[in-house]
Amino acid sequence: MLKLFLDKVFYGLLVTAGVVMIVFFLFTILPGDPARMILGQRADLVSVETINRELGRDLPVSSQFLLYVNDLSPLALLNTRDSSSRIFADASKYGSFIQILDTGSKTLVLKKPYLRRSYQTRDDVTAVLLDALPGTVVLAVAALVFAAFFGILLGTWSALRYQHWDDNLNLIISVLGMSVPSFFAGIIMAWLFGFVWRDWTGLEMTGSLYVVDPFEGMSIQWKNLILPAITLGIRPLSVIVQLTRSSMLEVLGLDYVRTARAKGLSPFAVVVKHALRNALNPVLTAISGWLGSLLAGAVFIEYIFGWKGVGKVTVDALEHYDFPVVMGAVLMVSVFFVIINILVDLLYARLDPRVRA
């Protein structure tokens, strides 16, 4: 298990390094002047050149990349005495750090990754994303709980009603759920339940988890979570239904299940205590793997429903060409995705000894 863990971490670091390279060079070649975004379109040329020098935009692309990697890396070289080489970071922008090695003009330090500052607000990108991250996590977890509960329930029912009309209906709905794009499903759900049938549902088309009232202060509005969580959970729900159904059909035909029925056990005991328990192994590993996909796929859902999360912050930043926020959001989601995939692979190895072999 230790060798497997180290291998997965190594490959995860390679994937993260590849994402860093792609994100940097992709946003470097995009049009747009960050200095104009910060100062405004009527700024004078001297001020624009000063801001571009502070951001390192006047350096060659290779030097800009080294400076970007130096900012992201937990280990960084700082300029402490010599400011002639600008590919090394200035100590002032990192705040607190731990000094490891002093080489004279450069100092090797241990620090937290620095995602730079927003072009629009000048706020630290890490603080902006961490402020929006709880909304995305709550939405993804709620969607996964909804998909897992109803997916296992409907999948088990379909297996017990094999080739009946309700089994065929579940298959048709699950295929439709996997086929409909999330942004289209979000628009339909918001329009129907938040506008057309609002008098009966009491739901709003848009809204976040936290609502600020000028008199009552901040409050949690759980009802705003219903529509985006259901919409985001439609696709994993459809997958879990079919996976549970096929796994249950396989288990229900095994000898030990027939033996349990022959002993006179109740149908509930046969299904829940014997069949379902063994059929859930592939379902649980699939559910754990969906969490990373939901974190990455909540962008359109958050934007459609006005849900404050990393996805909405990313789309808003794209509209204003606020590249540090977008780059930071992409990197954060990719790191979460890599970590979750490593945990899922370890879970597979824990459940199935053949994976460890």
Same domain, 93 and 158: no
Same domain, 96 and 171: no
Nearest to 131 by CA among 264, 310, 316: 310
- Adjacent-strand bridge partners of 101: 108
Assess if residue 63 is contained within a domain: yes
pTM for the structure as a whole: 0.82
Assess if residue 69 is contained within a domain: yes
pLDDT of residue 353: 62
Same domain, 264 and 193: yes
What is the average pLDDT value for the chain, to the nearest integer?
Answer: 82
Q: Which of 61, 82, 110 lies at the terminal end of a domain, its last residue?
A: 110
What Å distances lie between residue 180 and 167, 183, 192, 244, CA to CA?
Answer: 20, 9, 16, 21
Q: Which of 51, 80, 110 lies at the terminal end of a domain, its last residue?
A: 110
pLDDT of residue 80: 57
The 10s digit of each residue's pLDDT in 43-81 is 777 777 777 777 777 778 888 888 888 888 888 777 655
Same domain, 131 and 103: no
Kindly state the tokens that stand for 149: 């509960």
Which stretch of DSSP H or E encloses residue 98? strand 98-102
Same domain, 213 and 352: yes
Assess if residue 311 is contained within a domain: yes
pLDDT of residue 150: 94
Which stretch of DSSP H or E encloses residue 153? helix 125-160
The 10s digit of each residue's pLDDT in 141-165 is 999 999 999 999 999 899 888 888 8
pLDDT of residue 354: 58
Q: Which of 78, 110, 142 lies at the terminal end of a domain, its last residue?
A: 110
Neighbours of 224 (CB within 10 A): 22
**103 pLDDT more than 70:** no
3-state SS assignment for residue 90: strand
The 10s digit of each residue's pLDDT in 107-133 is 777 888 888 888 878 888 989 999 999
Quote the CA–CA distance of 54 and 47 in Å, as a whole number: 11
Assess if residue 282 is contained within a domain: yes
Read off the pLDDT of each residue in 98-106 and give the average, rounded to a whole number.
71
Kindly state the tokens that stand for 34: 């960050």
Q: Which residue has the tokens 């997965």?
A: 8
Are 63 and 87 in contact by the 8 Å Cβ rule? The answer is: yes
Which stretch of DSSP H or E encloses residue 140? helix 125-160
Nearest to 160 by CA among 268, 237, 233, 14: 268
Same domain, 81 and 142: no
pLDDT of residue 346: 79
Quote the CA–CA distance of 353 and 7 in Å, as a whole number: 17
Assess if residue 82 is contained within a domain: yes
Same domain, 322 and 263: yes
**87 pLDDT more than 70:** no
Q: Which domain holds residue 256?
A: 125-356
Same domain, 160 and 295: yes
Are 16 and 338 in contact by the 8 Å Cβ rule? The answer is: yes
Q: For the ranges 191-200, 254-263, 333-342, which has the lowest average pLDDT?
A: 254-263
Percent of the residues in the chain that have a pLDDT greater than 70, as a whole number = 90
**260 pLDDT more than 70:** yes
Quote the CA–CA distance of 343 and 349 in Å, as a whole number: 10
Assess if residue 22 is contained within a domain: no
**322 pLDDT more than 70:** yes
Same domain, 97 and 132: no
Task: For the chain, report the end-to-end CA distance as a whole number of angstroms.
Answer: 10
Same domain, 142 and 268: yes
Kindly state the tokens that stand for 320: 């204003």
What Å distances lie between residue 165 and 162, 168, 175, CA to CA?
Answer: 9, 5, 15
Q: Which of 30-44, 90-104, 236-250 has the highest mean pLDDT?
A: 236-250
Total structural domains within the chain: 2
Assess if residue 275 is contained within a domain: yes
Q: Which residue has the tokens 């046969």?
A: 270
Read off the pLDDT of each residue in 207-217 and give the average, rounded to a whole number.
77
Same domain, 262 and 144: yes
**82 pLDDT more than 60:** no
**355 pLDDT more than 70:** no
Same domain, 238 and 324: yes
Assess if residue 216 is contained within a domain: yes
pLDDT of residue 142: 93
